[in-house]
Amino acid sequence: MKLKEIERTAHQAWSPAAHHPIYLAAGTSAQQLDATFSTNAALEIFELDLSDPGFDMKLQGSIKTANRYHKLLWSSHGLGSGGPGTLIGGGDGGLIVLYDAARILAGDVEAELGQSVRHTGPVRALDINPFQNNLLASGANDSEIYIWDLNNFATPMTPGAQSQPLEDVGCVAWNCQVQHILASATPSGKAVVWDLRKNEPIIKVSDHTNRMRCSGIAWHPDVATQMVLASEDDRMPVIQMWDLRFATSPLRVFENHSRGILTIAWSRADPELLLSCAKDNRILCWNPNTGEVLYELPTSTQWCFDIQWCPRNPALISAASFDGLLSIYSVMGGSLSAQSQRQVDMISSSFGNFDPFGTGQPLPPLQLTQPHVPAATVLPLKKPPRWIRRPVGASFAVSYCLHGTQTFKMCGSLPGGLVQSHYVYVSQVVTEPHLLSRSAELQAAGHTGHLREFCHAKVQASIDPLEKDIWSFLQVNLEPDPRSKFLKLIGYNPDELAQKRPWLHVVVTISAIELSISSYSFADVDGLIGQALLVGDFEAAVELCLGDGRYADAIILAVAGGADLLERTQERYFDKSSGIGGTFCIIKVSELQDEQALSLSFLVDALGSRLEMEDGGRLCAQACLCYICAGNVDKLASCWDGTHQCSDSLALQVGMYPAVGIFGTNLTCRLVICLKIRLSFNNVATGNCTHLRNGDTREQPYWIGLHLLHSCQTSKNNIFSHRILAYFFSISFSFSSSTPPPMMFILLQPAQVQPPEKIEKRPIPEEHASLRIAFDGLVQRCLIAASDPQTKRKLDDANKRLEFLYDKLREHSVSALSLVSRDFKTRNVNVGIYFKNIISCLRAKMPSHLELL
């Protein structure tokens, strides 16, 4: 398939393989004239831009030259120093000229590096040694062959005595495997192989028919002893393959061209691809190992005189034809239909005002016969080229890493020397065995109910004091009487406290009275409240709260202090504030009646918050301990996250996992953890933390998912279970999939036994029931009134939102013990805001039905 086109009658040379981007140099051909009869000569460099779909190539540099060329080469000599290399041209009169490609690209007219006219006649044969890019072989008339050193261009050496009789040297080629072997061929059909170390010809290859007129010679890229010769003679348009181990007659003869072959080119990327172009206008691609024609290039109706493989992009070839076109083709096939039309358009427009002879009159309108398109589709090579034969690699599968086999290359000298291995290996990858064993250990402890022993063992094993503390506190949580043990751990002796109590009570009361009377700003009211609560003196604590204006706290504390205290506090509260907001608190209090364990949690929680705030986070570790005491996993997680952000990828897991496992009976806790994990994922994005991404192939989401799923099942909360599943199995597993994978199946089994859809939802708590009736009625009315599908969809959405809200309300009705009152209040406020949002949302969406609202 043709990709690019340049209107030049020129010899071409691709930039070396190591150079990026790909350039193509074009030097005006000698002994050819176009319709302008211009005798100018130029050396131009074009850039190949495959991202541009057009046929044009961008001219990157150009110089006018005095000579035209019989041969052009682009050596990587000088490429190492960053430049694009050296261009070498062979011209008439024995001229060899060197140019610095970098200078041409820079627009420097003085690009010539050196030249020599030592040869006789036109220099048609040039080749660069593939091993030493400074070694240039050249050939011209009178059997002249010179070897040049580009670093010292002045004096060439000869490979040996000139062969007799004196003939033109039509082509030279360096061996691709042995660097001191050179072959040359003459139009009379003789090929000579030279050994530069011995400085003499070592073998002469000649066909007994004497009809060969060598136009091209090429060594096998892989097999050192094989080469091909192409014949220009119309009576014998063949390519002969010779093996020097058996140099009496050609190994193979490839016959398909009907007229003489002008050039051949052997692909370096795939030794089974050999191009030839001949005077029968065809360009063929052969498999030189079998002689089979693999491909015929759809070409113009003109001879090609030069053809080259692109060294960097193995699928590309360039061909220069006598009709003045330099074309770039892909051998991979493709569709021509789009391009042929473009070509027609381009030709028509370019001929519009064409006046080549300067006669002042435009040529008569060109009757462009629709160019003959052989077929819209160009088939690719019959045999896949080596460069697309990709070896099997490793692909991941579910909990497995798959390693494929690979073809092993044998010594590189056998033709197509590939030995296949037909094994595929399945391997397992475990990246964090340590974590894996830890989590298994904890899970086992959780299953057998030996969490306390587990904690104890951890306490024993801990070296870091903080870690020890954490495990001790966790352990205490599991003890029968955690409160007194906590106090003990903190360093208080309950007995001593009891003795101090009356005294403390006095202090506290006095302070409280002071506070309420003089509104004296006591610096540490929190501390006093804390002390009061610590000794279990709720009355004093309430007093302090009231004194400080913390009515809500006072009422909540009073709840814990008993009905009597509550009543008194309420009375005092109503005395102090005639506000409306207070009613809210009172209503809440009724809900909190059952939360007897509140005081300790509140106290320790508050202490934790203070610790966290103070000293710029230095006391965060201690704060964590407080949260463990309070059972406040939410805060624990955020605090832990804060302290350990960058230090250790396992930190969150270390901290959180025990917490999940131990406080895990509570759904809310787990959901909080879930949220925390989501937050830490957020950190992943900013590069701070990769807690969970750094897991093993049995990824954490699975076990977290397992835990969460478990909680969801026990709580029969299908909304959450769905969402959590969606989070943790969204990778490739889906709850809805008909047949989950075995591992997932085990996890999901209980859920399937009890499909969440069938679980009856709890009734909405009474205090919210009226809301539901109101909203449902509202949506119903809207639905009846809504006519267009868009509104209906929106109402659907609103319905879903409401359903979610109801679920929240239901959840609150079984309000979690560990939720401290403050959070609780905030949440209720949020619900209020949510109501407002929904109403405004409905209003915005359906102004026409506003009256219904």
Residues 795-814 that bind other proteins (CB under 8 A): 797, 800-801, 804
Instruction: For residue 248, state whether it binds other proteins (rule: CB under 8 A).
Output: no
Token pair 């070296």 is found at 463
Instruction: For residue 58, state whether it binds other proteins (rule: CB under 8 A).
Output: no
DSSP state for residue 141 in the 8-state scheme? S
CA distances from residue 486 to 295, 462, 474, 561, 601 in whole angstroms, order as listed:
85, 19, 10, 21, 12
**Residue (210 or 335) nearer to other proteins, CB:** 335
Q: How far is the CB of 701 from other proteins (least distance, A)?
A: 7
Q: What amino acid is encoded at 841 in this protein?
A: C
Size of the site for other proteins (CB under 8 A): 91
> What's the CA gap between 242 and 227, in Å, rounded?
5
Instruction: For residue 418, state whether it binds other proteins (rule: CB under 8 A).
Output: yes
Residues 686-715 that bind other proteins (CB under 8 A): 687-690, 693-695, 697, 699, 701
The single residue among 33, 40, 50, 352 that binds other proteins, judged by CB under 8 A, is 50
Instruction: For residue 727, state whether it binds other proteins (rule: CB under 8 A).
Output: yes
Sequence-ordered alpha helix ranges (H) in 271-361? 337-350
Instruction: For residue 157, state whether it binds other proteins (rule: CB under 8 A).
Output: no
**Residue (3 or 709) nearer to other proteins, CB:** 3
**Residue (130 or 333) nearer to other proteins, CB:** 333
Residues 521-540 that bind other proteins (CB under 8 A): none
Instruction: For residue 584, state whether it binds other proteins (rule: CB under 8 A).
Output: no
The pairing of beta strand 125-128 with beta strand 112-116? unpaired
**Residue (759 or 838) nearer to other proteins, CB:** 838
Instruction: For residue 407, state whether it binds other proteins (rule: CB under 8 A).
Output: yes
Q: How far is the CB of 391 from other proteins (least distance, A)?
A: 6
Contact 542, 527 (CB under 8 A): no
Residues 827-846 that bind other proteins (CB under 8 A): none
DSSP state for residue 808 in the 8-state scheme? H
> What's the CA gap between 813 and 810, in Å, rounded?
5
Q: How far is the CB of 530 from other proteins (least distance, A)?
A: 36
The single residue among 363, 410, 466, 731 that binds other proteins, judged by CB under 8 A, is 731
Instruction: For residue 3, state whether it binds other proteins (rule: CB under 8 A).
Output: yes
Q: What are phi and psi of 325, to 5 degrees?
A: -120, 140
Show the 3-state SS of 633-667: HHHHHHHHHHHCCCCCCCHHHHHHHHHHHHHCCCH
Residues 607-636 that bind other proteins (CB under 8 A): none
Q: How far is the CB of 314 from other proteins (least distance, A)?
A: 9
Contact 710, 751 (CB under 8 A): no
Instruction: For residue 351, state whether it binds other proteins (rule: CB under 8 A).
Output: no
The single residue among 199, 682, 714, 790 that binds other proteins, judged by CB under 8 A, is 682
> What's the CA gap between 363 and 353, in Å, rounded?
7
Buried-exposed string 517-527: b where 16+ CB fall within 10 A, e elsewhere: eeeeebeebbe
Instruction: For residue 316, state whether it binds other proteins (rule: CB under 8 A).
Output: yes
The single residue among 227, 236, 251, 315 that binds other proteins, judged by CB under 8 A, is 315
Half-sphere exposure at residue 785, Cβ-oriented, CA atoms within 13 angstroms: 15
Contact 117, 95 (CB under 8 A): yes
**Residue (320 or 744) nearer to other proteins, CB:** 744
Q: How far is the CB of 696 from other proteins (least distance, A)?
A: 9
Half-sphere exposure at residue 814, Cβ-oriented, CA atoms within 13 angstroms: 15
Instruction: For residue 398, state whether it binds other proteins (rule: CB under 8 A).
Output: yes
Instruction: For residue 402, state whether it binds other proteins (rule: CB under 8 A).
Output: yes
Q: What amino acid is encoded at 545 in this protein?
A: C
Instruction: For residue 390, state whether it binds other proteins (rule: CB under 8 A).
Output: yes
> What's the CA gap between 718 and 754, in Å, rounded?
10
List the structure tokens of 844. Answer: 């915005």
Instruction: For residue 723, state whether it binds other proteins (rule: CB under 8 A).
Output: yes
The single residue among 31, 39, 51, 349 that binds other proteins, judged by CB under 8 A, is 51
> What's the CA gap between 716 and 44, in Å, rounded?
77
**Residue (49 or 195) nearer to other proteins, CB:** 49
